[in-house]
């Protein structure tokens, strides 16, 4: 039948982290609700402005952007939480005396710039540890954390915890990161529940076409669930949308079995090296997991995967997959898509505190949980 074309705005460039969307497109979840989705990548402020101006209808925007944008008259609404844990944190090398955020006092800390999620995350982290921006030497370095970190230009850096720490660690593993051998991460999510990225639309769309919102969210939700349950499949699909992603055969194999092993909970994996490891893993877990939900099994599976794959593919081939795994950990939650007023409150507080927001806004209007599909 005729599908309704729809543009979905994402930030930056195609990335394995966008796999829920890719899955929803690839597996026909959007088609099931009558939509033909194309993706457009733009800068976050541009995404916000285009949606607010009614030029596009949906996009992925982070919570603090929604608050700031609404404060400046952009009628956009957050309708579905994609990330549940705030993806920002501080990365620091081990063995340099930095054991906690508090130890950063007086040290040189890199940051992309004094704005955006990184900055908000940093302030939150510092505040939770009794510090302010003035207690550290903040160094704007753009999105060049690994280079600056490994060259020792900065002693720690504000990063996206699902990505850069892995990049840095893999460099350290190759001995390519100066004196750094092992890195540690201090996630913002450990100290505060800030609202992160989610699906945003405009008030106009919400008012005129709530059904469309429901359809979009339904399809996306299915994609997100699949991604959480079946990371190898998600990765495999992502390789069709993201150029230059290596696809080691073992991942393609895994992608084929995940459905049955994780989802169906019945059949065992075929007797290959990885299959055996998988069976062993899930087998040992079995006694304790009579009542285990697929999501719990999946979490266990994700946890074990890096170890499982360790000698079955080159480390560089697995890097982006590991980025996906650590990203999934940020998505997973008891109720997908939901945000709480407290989280919004916390987010707004930080914005107020840093002066990014002059006055509080009516947070209730900034988001809605009304479209979240049931389990």
Task: Pick between residue 42 and residue 265 the one whose CB is nearest to another protein.
Answer: 42
**CA of residue 241 relative to chain centroid, distance:** 17
Residue 287: count other Cβ atoms within 10 Å of its Cβ. 7
Residue 172 exposed, middle or buried by CB count within 10 Å (0-12, 13-18, 19+) = buried
Tokens at 316, concatenated: 């560089």
Give the binding-site size for another protein (rule: CB under 8 A): 52
Stretch that binds another protein, among 135-143, 256-264, 271-279, 364-372 (CB under 8 A): 135-143
Does 305 engage in binding with another protein (CB under 8 A)? no
Identify whether the C-beta of residue 64 lies closer than 8 Å to the C-beta of residue 117.
yes
The 215-244 contact track toward another protein, x by CB under 8 A, reads ---------------------------xxx
CA 82 to CA 333: how far, in whole Å? 10
Q: Tell me 94's DSSP state.
A: T
365 binds another protein, rule: CB under 8 A: no
Decide if residue 320 touches another protein (CB under 8 A).
yes
> Among residues 44, 64, 183, 47, which one has the least CA distance to residue 119?
64
Cβ nearer to another protein, comparing 91 with 150: 150
Contacts of 144 (CB under 8 A, 6+ apart): none
Contacts of 260 (CB under 8 A, 6+ apart): 266, 267
Choose, by CB under 8 A, the member of 49, 135, 203, 317 that binds another protein.
49
DSSP 8-state class, residue 72: T
Interaction of residue 249 with another protein, rule CB under 8 A: no
Residue 45 binds to another protein (criterion: CB under 8 A)? yes
Should residue 55 be labelled a site residue for another protein when binding is judged by CB under 8 A?
yes
Rounded least distance, CB 184 to another protein, Å: 20
Check residue 3 and give left, alpha or beta (phi > 0: left; psi -120 to 50: alpha). Answer: beta
String marking each residue 179-218 x if it binds another protein according to CB under 8 A: ----------------------------------------
Residue choice 60, 356, 367, 372 for contact with another protein (CB under 8 A):
356
Torsion region of 360: left, alpha or beta (phi above 0 gives left; psi -120 to 50 gives alpha): beta
Return the beta strands (E) in the chain as ranges.
Answer: 4-11, 35-42, 58-62, 76-81, 88-93, 108-111, 137-140, 156-160, 183-187, 197-202
CB-wise, 32 or 43, nearer to another protein? 43
Task: Name which of 53 and 273 has its Cβ closer to another protein.
Answer: 53
Residues 153-172: x/- map of binding to another protein (CB under 8 A)?
A: x-------------x---x-
User: With binding defined as CB under 8 A, does residue 148 bind another protein?
Assistant: yes
Query: Three-state DSSP class for 144?
Result: coil
50 binds another protein (CB under 8 A): yes
For residue 297, give every residue at least 6 positions away whose Cβ sits within 8 Å of its Cβ, in sequence order, or none: 262, 265, 282, 285, 289
Nearer to another protein, 6 or 299 (CB): 6
Cβ closer to another protein: 55 or 100?
55
Residues from 66 through 85 that contact another protein (CB under 8 A): 68-69, 71-74
CA dist., res. 301 & res. 304, Å (int): 5
What's the rounded Cα separation, in Å, for the pair 339 and 81?
Answer: 6
**The two structure tokens encoding residue 333:** 């939650």
Provide Rg for the chain, Cα atoms: 21
142, 249, 270, 360: residue in contact with another protein (rule CB under 8 A): 142
Q: Which stretch binds another protein (CB under 8 A): 128-136, 150-158, 266-274, 281-289?
A: 150-158
- Confirm if 190 and 131 have CB atoms less than 8 A apart: no
267: contact with another protein by CB under 8 A: no
Q: Give, as ranges, the residues between 104 and 133 that touch another protein (CB under 8 A).
A: 112-116
Q: Does the protein bind another protein through residue 350 (CB under 8 A)?
A: no
Positions that interact with another protein (CB under 8 A): 12-15, 40-43, 45-46, 48-50, 52-53, 55, 65, 68-69, 71-74, 112-116, 139-144, 146-148, 150-151, 153, 167, 171, 174, 176-178, 242-245, 320, 356
């Amino acid at each position: 039948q005729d599908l309704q074309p729809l543009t979905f705005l994402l930030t930056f460039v195609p990335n394995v982290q966008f796999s829920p969307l890719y899955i929803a497109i690839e597996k026909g979840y959007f088609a099931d609700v009558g939509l033909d989705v194309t993706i457009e990548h733009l800068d976050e402020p541009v995404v916000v402005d285009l949606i607010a101006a009614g030029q596009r209808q949906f996009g992925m925007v982070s919570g603090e952007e929604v608050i700031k944008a609404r404060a400046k008259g952009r009628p956009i609404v957050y309708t579905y939480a994609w990330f549940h844990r705030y993806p920002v944190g501080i990365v620091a090398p081990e063995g340099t005396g930095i054991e906690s955020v508090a130890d950063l006092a007086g040290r040189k800390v890199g940051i992309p710039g004094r704005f955006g999620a990184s900055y908000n995350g940093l302030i939150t982290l510092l505040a939770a540890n009794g510090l302010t921006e003035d207690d550290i030497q903040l160094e704007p370095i753009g999105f060049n954390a690994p280079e600056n970190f490994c060259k020792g230009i900065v002693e720690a850096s504000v990063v996206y915890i699902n990505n850069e720490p892995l990049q840095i660690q893999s460099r350290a593993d190759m001995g390519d990161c100066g004196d750094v051998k092992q890195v540690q991460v201090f996630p913002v999510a450990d100290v505060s529940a800030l609202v992160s990225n989610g699906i945003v639309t405009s008030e106009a769309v919400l008012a005129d076409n709530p059904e469309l919102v429901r359809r979009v969210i339904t399809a996306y939700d299915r994609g997100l669930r699949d991604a959480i349950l079946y990371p190898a499949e998600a990765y495999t699909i992502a390789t069709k949308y993201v150029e230059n992603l290596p696809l080691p055969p073992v991942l393609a194999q895994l992608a084929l079995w995940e459905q049955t092993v994780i989802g169906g909970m019945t059949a065992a994996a075929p007797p290959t090296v990885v299959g055996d490891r998988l069976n062993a893993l899930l087998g040992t877990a079995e006694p304790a997991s009579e009542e285990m939900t697929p999501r719990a099994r999946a979490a266990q599976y994700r946890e074990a995967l890096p170890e499982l794959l360790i000698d079955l593919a080159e480390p560089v081939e697995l890097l982006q997959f590991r980025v996906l795994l650590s990203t999934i950990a940020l998505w997973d939650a008891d109720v997908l898509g939901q945000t709480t007023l407290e989280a919004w409150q916390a987010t707004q507080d930080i914005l107020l505190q840093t002066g990014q927001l002059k006055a509080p806004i009516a947070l209730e209007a900034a988001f809605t949980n009304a479209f979240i599909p049931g389990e």
